[in-house]
Chains A and B, each alone.
Chain A
Amino acid sequence: MTVTETRPGAEATTASAPGHHPRRRAWRSRLTRFDLRYTPYVFIAPFFVIFGVFAVWPLLYTGWISFHKWAIIEGDQGWLGLHNYQALFADEYFWNALLNTALLLVLGTGVQLAVALWLAGVLNRKLSASAVWRAGVVLPHIVSVVAVSLVFAQLYGFHTGVVNDVLSVVGIDRIDWQASRWTAIPAVATIIIWRWAGYYALIFLAAMQGIPRELNEAAMLDGASRRRIFWSITVPSIRPTIIFSVVMSTIGAMQTFTEPQLFDVQGTDGTGGSDRQFQTLMMYLYEKGFREFNAGYAATLAWVMFLLIAVVSGINYALSRRIASKD
Chain B
Amino acid sequence: MKYHASRRVWVVAATATVIALTASGCGSGAGDSDGKTTLTVTTQVDYGYRDLYKEYEKSHPGIKIREVLVDDLPKKLVTQLAANRGASDVVGLGDDTIGEFKPSYQRFVNLADHGVNNTDDPWVRWAYDYGTVEGGKYVMGLRTDIGGLGICYRTDLFKEAGLPTDPERVGQLWPTWDKFTEVGEEFRAKVKDASFTANTGDIWVGMENQHKETFFSESDDSFMADENSGLKQDFLTAASMSVRKVSGGYPPFTPEMANALKTGKAATAVCPAWKLDRTKEASGPGNSGKWSVAAAPQGGNWGGSYLLVPKQTKHTKEAVELARWLTSSKVQKRLFLSKGYLSSHPSVYSDPTVQAKKDTYFSNAPTGKIFAEAVDKMQPIYRGTKDSDVATAFMNALLRVEQGKQKPEDAWSQAVSDAEKVAGD
Name A residues whose Cβ lies closer than 8 Å to a Cβ of B: 3-4, 7, 9-10, 28, 31-32, 35-36, 39, 42-43, 45-46, 49-50, 53-54, 71-75, 154, 157-160, 176, 178-180, 265-269, 271, 273-275, 290-294, 297
Q: Is B26 an interface residue (CB 8 A)?
A: no
How long is the Cα–Cα vector from A31 to B7 in the complex, in angstroms? 11
How long is the Cα–Cα vector from A9 to B1 in the complex, in angstroms? 12
Q: Are B251 and A293 touching (Cβ within 8 A)?
A: no
Q: Are A154 and B78 touching (Cβ within 8 A)?
A: no
Q: Given B10, B104, B253, B386, which contacts A42 in the complex, CB threshold below 8 Å?
A: B10
Question: Which 5 residue pairs spanning A and B have beta carbons closest together?
Answer: A274-B399, A179-B403, A265-B251, A274-B400, A73-B104
- A179: which B residues are within 8 A, CB to CB? 403-405
Q: Are A35 and B3 touching (Cβ within 8 A)?
A: yes
Among residues of A, the one whose C-beta sits closest to the C-beta of B248 is: A159
Q: Are B78 and A292 touching (Cβ within 8 A)?
A: no
Interface string of B66-86 (1 = CB under 8 A from A): 000001100100110110000
Q: Are A46 and B403 touching (Cβ within 8 A)?
A: no
15 more A-B residue pairs beyond the given contacts A39-B9, A160-B255, A274-B397, with a C-beta to C-beta distance below 8 A: A4-B4, A45-B17, A46-B16, A49-B17, A53-B21, A73-B104, A159-B256, A160-B256, A180-B405, A266-B395, A268-B72, A274-B396, A274-B405, A275-B400, A292-B425
| Nearest-Cβ distance from residue B19 to partner chain A, whole angstroms | 10
Q: Is B358 an interface residue (CB 8 A)?
A: no
How long is the Cα–Cα vector from A271 to B400 in the complex, in angstroms? 13
Q: Are B78 and A290 touching (Cβ within 8 A)?
A: yes
Q: Are A297 and B425 touching (Cβ within 8 A)?
A: yes
Q: Are A42 and B396 touching (Cβ within 8 A)?
A: no
Interface string of B210-233 (1 = CB under 8 A from A): 000000000000000000000000
Q: Are A28 and B72 touching (Cβ within 8 A)?
A: no
Q: Is B6 an interface residue (CB 8 A)?
A: yes
Among residues of B, the one whose C-beta sits closest to the C-beta of A9 is: B4
Q: Given A32, A265, A275, A293, which contacts B3 in the complex, CB threshold below 8 Å?
A: A32
Interface string of B101-123 (1 = CB under 8 A from A): 10110010000000000000000
Contact (A265, B425) CB under 8 Å given A72-B79, A159-B250: no
A-B contact pairs, 26 of them (CB 8 A): A4-B1, A32-B3, A35-B2, A35-B6, A39-B9, A42-B9, A45-B13, A45-B17, A49-B20, A50-B20, A75-B82, A157-B256, A159-B260, A160-B255, A160-B259, A176-B403, A179-B403, A265-B251, A266-B396, A269-B392, A271-B392, A274-B402, A274-B405, A275-B400, A291-B389, A293-B78
Q: Are B2 and A159 touching (Cβ within 8 A)?
A: no
How long is the Cα–Cα vector from A49 to B100 in the complex, in angstroms? 37
Q: Are B396 and A267 touching (Cβ within 8 A)?
A: no
Q: Are B425 and A73 touching (Cβ within 8 A)?
A: no
- B59: which A residues are within 8 A, CB to CB? none
Q: Are A157 and B255 touching (Cβ within 8 A)?
A: yes
- B71: which A residues are within 8 A, CB to CB? 268
- B75: which A residues are within 8 A, CB to CB? 268, 290-291
Q: How many A-B residue pairs have CB under 8 A?
A: 113
- Residues of B236-259 contacting chain A, CB below 8 A: 248-251, 253-256, 259
How long is the Cα–Cα vector from A180 to B1 in the complex, in angstroms? 72
Q: Given A3, A158, A292, A293, which contacts B1 in the complex, CB threshold below 8 Å?
A: A3
| Nearest-Cβ distance from residue B266 to partner chain A, whole angstroms | 10
The size bracket of the interface on B is: 35 or more
Among residues of A, the one whose C-beta sits closest to the C-beta of B201 is: A266
How long is the Cα–Cα vector from A179 to B400 in the complex, in angstroms? 8
- A75: which B residues are within 8 A, CB to CB? 82
Interface centre among A274, A290, A291, A294 (most CB of B within 10 A): A274
How long is the Cα–Cα vector from A31 to B1 in the complex, in angstroms? 11
How long is the Cα–Cα vector from A293 to B97 in the complex, in angstroms? 12
Q: Is B52 an interface residue (CB 8 A)?
A: no
- B78: which A residues are within 8 A, CB to CB? 72-73, 290, 293
How long is the Cα–Cα vector from A72 to B71 in the complex, in angstroms? 19
Q: Are B396 and A50 touching (Cβ within 8 A)?
A: no
- A42: which B residues are within 8 A, CB to CB? 6, 9-10, 13
- B79: which A residues are within 8 A, CB to CB? 72
| Nearest-Cβ distance from residue A52 to partner chain B, whole angstroms | 11
How long is the Cα–Cα vector from A36 to B6 in the complex, in angstroms? 9
Q: Are A32 and B2 touching (Cβ within 8 A)?
A: yes
How long is the Cα–Cα vector from A4 to B253 in the complex, in angstroms? 73
Q: Is B356 an interface residue (CB 8 A)?
A: no
- B250: which A residues are within 8 A, CB to CB? 159
| Nearest-Cβ distance from residue B33 to partner chain A, whole angstroms | 30
Q: Are A266 and B4 touching (Cβ within 8 A)?
A: no
How long is the Cα–Cα vector from A42 to B81 in the complex, in angstroms? 37
| Nearest-Cβ distance from residue A273 to partner chain B, whole angstroms | 8
Among residues of A, the one whose C-beta sits closest to the C-beta of B398 is: A274
| Nearest-Cβ distance from residue A131 to partner chain B, whole angstroms | 36
Q: Is B30 an interface residue (CB 8 A)?
A: no
Q: Are B24 and A54 touching (Cβ within 8 A)?
A: yes
- B248: which A residues are within 8 A, CB to CB? 159
Q: Are A28 and B82 touching (Cβ within 8 A)?
A: no
| Nearest-Cβ distance from residue A5 to partner chain B, whole angstroms | 11
Contact (A7, B4) CB under 8 Å given A42-B9, A46-B17, A73-B81: yes
- A159: which B residues are within 8 A, CB to CB? 248-250, 256, 259-260, 265
Q: Are B82 and A274 touching (Cβ within 8 A)?
A: no
How long is the Cα–Cα vector from A269 to B253 in the complex, in angstroms? 13
- A53: which B residues are within 8 A, CB to CB? 21
- A4: which B residues are within 8 A, CB to CB? 1, 3-4
Among residues of A, the one whose C-beta sits closest to the C-beta of B396 is: A274
- A43: which B residues are within 8 A, CB to CB? 9, 13
| Nearest-Cβ distance from residue A162 to partner chain B, whole angstroms | 12
- A271: which B residues are within 8 A, CB to CB? 392, 396
- B45: which A residues are within 8 A, CB to CB? none
How long is the Cα–Cα vector from A10 to B152 in the complex, in angstroms? 84
